[in-house]
């Protein structure tokens, strides 16, 4: 089928919640092809999901091997892949336990429920999040999200969420009430436009949360999974920052790159809180299926074996330097982020800029009000980043 025929099916039969462009047919590594056979360098990465690029060998092998053994069994039973994945995630994060689900919004939902359960004995339920944040599209997710555009027309929203300016410690202190039970932050705001947290802010928030007995919840869905060069972005942001050693949130939401393209989400909960959700208190049918967990394990092993954490740190530096070099032209106003999560604020419409890049053969994702997001795969090569920079230079 050609693009036009496929588009007509969508127009007629698919709920139009997205503005779509290309009709894609297949992909390999950092490249995808549309149904007309034109190829694109994919630095949108399925919005921070395709951490190993398209159709990676290790992921296909894990899918095939696990599919021949056990694809799904309910959470009424134990199975090895979920246990192994939980152990890996705890070893990578810190003492605690993991709840498995299927998406980012559900991972956040598990943390919201954890916070409510935690605060229930003393009537605390309020969760503070940041302006410009993004926490998912469920009702709790849009209530938590600090952007009006996701809420419009869906009221009444879930009570108990309030938003404060990001990176403003005094605003947080002022927002805490006797009902406050948690604060949730992204390490690098993704949908909001690639805004990293200040190291000093993070250290102060951690300290304050401890003092006031409120949970520090971390939305690591987009910035996690080695995207910034370390497992979680706070490790990158706080590297060599005095007082940043040992920084650990009380709960972390994971999804996106965790499955490298296969749907899986997870909520890590720190040890003191890891047993608050007991049998019957929370669950989801598909959470942590053998297939999903086997794939996530394969992704983690590939990152470790191929040292992709080191690679993406280098690629991020290369991309950032290249984009920054275009700033004197006036087309790019600012470059933020690191590793496989770089934002370039552009002059003029970022949507038009993204469309021009697409025409030229480079896929990126618009974010915020004026930002082009580069969410490249962790295994992108030096030559591919050079190619992307060349395309940006010519297209803008
Ligand atoms: C994508 C995203 C979510 C929502 O994840 P879904 O899998 O789409 O539900 C939540 N928080 C952040 C920071 C995200 O980037």
Q: Whose CA is nearest to atom 6 of ligand 1?
A: 104
- Give the chain's mean pLDDT: 98
CB atoms inside a 10 Å sphere around CB 65: 11
Mean pLDDT of 285-294: 98
Which is the catalytic residue, given 256, 262, 320, 374? 256
pLDDT of residue 184: 98
> If you measure from the C-alpha of residue 328 to the centroid of ligand 1, how many angstroms do you get, rounded to a whole number?
34
pLDDT, tens digit, 9 for 90 and up, residues 27-36: 999 999 999 9
pLDDT in tens, 90-106: 999 999 999 999 999 99
pLDDT in the model for residue 104 = 98
DSSP string spanning 166-194?
TT-HHHHHHH--TTEEEEEEESEETTTT-
Token pair for residue 54? 């398209």
Owner of token pair 């080695």: 226
Ligand 1 pocket, mutate which of 106, 191, 192, 193 (most atoms under 8 A from CB): 191
Q: Mark 66-81 as b/e (b = at least 16 C-beta within 10 Å).
A: beeeeeeeeeeeebeb
- pLDDT tens per residue across span 323-378: 999 999 999 999 999 999 999 999 999 999 999 999 999 999 999 999 999 999 99
Ligand 1 midpoint to CA 220 (Å): 9
393 C-alpha to center of ligand 1: Å?
A: 30
The arithmetic mean of pLDDT across residues 293-315, rounded, is: 98
Question: What is the C-alpha radius of gyration for the chain, rounded to an integer number of angstroms?
Answer: 21
Q: Mutate which of 18, 44, 103, 104 to test ligand 1's pocket (most atoms within 8 Å of Cβ)?
A: 104
pLDDT band at 201 (very low <50, low <70, confident <90, very high): very high
pLDDT at 229: 98
- List 42, 43, 112, 219, catalytic entry: 219
Percent of the chain beyond pLDDT 70? 100
With a CB cutoff of 8 Å and minimum separation 6, the contacts of 288 are 75, 82, 85, 86, 100, 101, 264, 266
Q: What band does 38 get if pLDDT is binned at 50, 70 and 90?
A: very high
DSSP state of 328: G
Nearest CA to ligand 1 atom 5: 104
Q: How far is the CA of 329 from the centre of ligand 1 (A)?
A: 34
- Give the pLDDT band (50/70/90) at residue 39: very high
CA distances from 285 to 73, 282, 288 (A): 9, 11, 9
Which protein residues touch ligand 1 with a CB less than 6 Å away? 103-105, 108, 134-136, 186, 190-191, 219, 221-222, 255-256
Q: What is the DSSP letter of 349?
A: -
State the catalytic residue, choosing from 100, 134, 247, 374.
134
Ligand 1 centroid to Cα of residue 205, in Å, is 22
Active site residue 10: no
pLDDT band with cut points at 50, 70 and 90 for residue 40? very high
Does 219 qualify as catalytic in the annotation? Answer: yes
DSSP state of 295: H
The residue to mutate among 108, 221, 296, having the most atoms of ligand 1 within 8 angstroms of its beta carbon, is 221
pLDDT in tens, 151-169: 999 999 999 999 999 999 9
Tokens read off for 8: 């007509």
At 198, the pLDDT band (50, 70, 90 cuts) reads: very high
Which atom from ligand 1 is nearest to the alpha carbon of 255? 7
Is 306 tagged catalytic? no
Q: Which tens digits make up the pLDDT trace of 234-264?
A: 999 999 999 999 999 999 999 999 999 999 9
Query: Which contiguous run of DSSP H or E holds residue 313?
Result: helix 308-324
Q: How far is the CA of 264 from the centre of ligand 1 (A)?
A: 12
């Amino acid at each position: 089928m050609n693009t036009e025929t496929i588009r007509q099916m969508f127009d007629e039969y698919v709920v139009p919640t997205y503005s779509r462009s290309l009709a894609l047919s297949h992909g390999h590594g950092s490249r995808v092809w549309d149904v007309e056979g034109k190829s694109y360098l994919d630095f949108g990465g399925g919005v921070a999901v395709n951490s190993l690029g398209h159709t990676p060998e290790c992921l296909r092998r894990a899918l095939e091997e696990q599919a021949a053994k056990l694809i799904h069994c309910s959470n009424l039973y134990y199975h090895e892949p979920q246990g192994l994945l939980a152990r890996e995630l705890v070893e990578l994060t810190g003492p605690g336990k993991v709840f498995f689900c299927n998406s980012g919004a559900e991972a956040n939902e598990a943390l919201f429920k954890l916070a409510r359960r935690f605060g229930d004995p003393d009537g605390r339920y309020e969760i503070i999040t940041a302006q410009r944040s993004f926490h998912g599209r469920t009702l709790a997710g849009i209530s938590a999200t600090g952007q009006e555009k996701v809420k419009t027309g869906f009221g009444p929203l879930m009570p108990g969420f309030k938003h404060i300016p990001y990176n403003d410690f005094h605003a947080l202190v002022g927002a805490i009430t006797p009902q406050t039970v948690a604060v949730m932050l992204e390490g690098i705001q993704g949908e909001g436009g690639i805004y990293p947290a200040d190291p000093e802010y993070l250290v102060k928030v951690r300290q304050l949360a401890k003092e006031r007995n409120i949970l520090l919840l971390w939305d690591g869905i987009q910035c996690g999974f080695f995207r910034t060069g370390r497992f979680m972005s706070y490790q990158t942001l706080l590297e060599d920052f005095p007082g940043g050693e040992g920084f650990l949130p009380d709960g972390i939401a994971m999804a996106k790159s965790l499955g490298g393209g296969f749907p899986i989400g997870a909520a890590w909960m720190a040890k003191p809180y890891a047993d608050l959700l007991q049998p019957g208190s929370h669950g989801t049918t598909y959470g942590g299926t053998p297939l999903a967990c086997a794939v996530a394990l394969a992704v983690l092993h590939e990152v470790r074996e191929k040292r992709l954490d080191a690679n993406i740190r280098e690629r991020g530096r290369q991309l950032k330097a290249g984009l920054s070099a275009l700033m004197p032209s006036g087309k790019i106003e600012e470059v933020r982020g690191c590793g496989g999560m770089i934002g370039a604020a552009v002059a003029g419409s970022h949507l038009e800029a993204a469309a021009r890049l697409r025409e030229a053969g480079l896929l990126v994702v618009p974010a915020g009000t004026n930002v082009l997001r580069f969410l490249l795969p962790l295994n992108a090569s030096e030559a591919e980043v050079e190619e992307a920079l060349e395309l940006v230079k010519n297209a803008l």
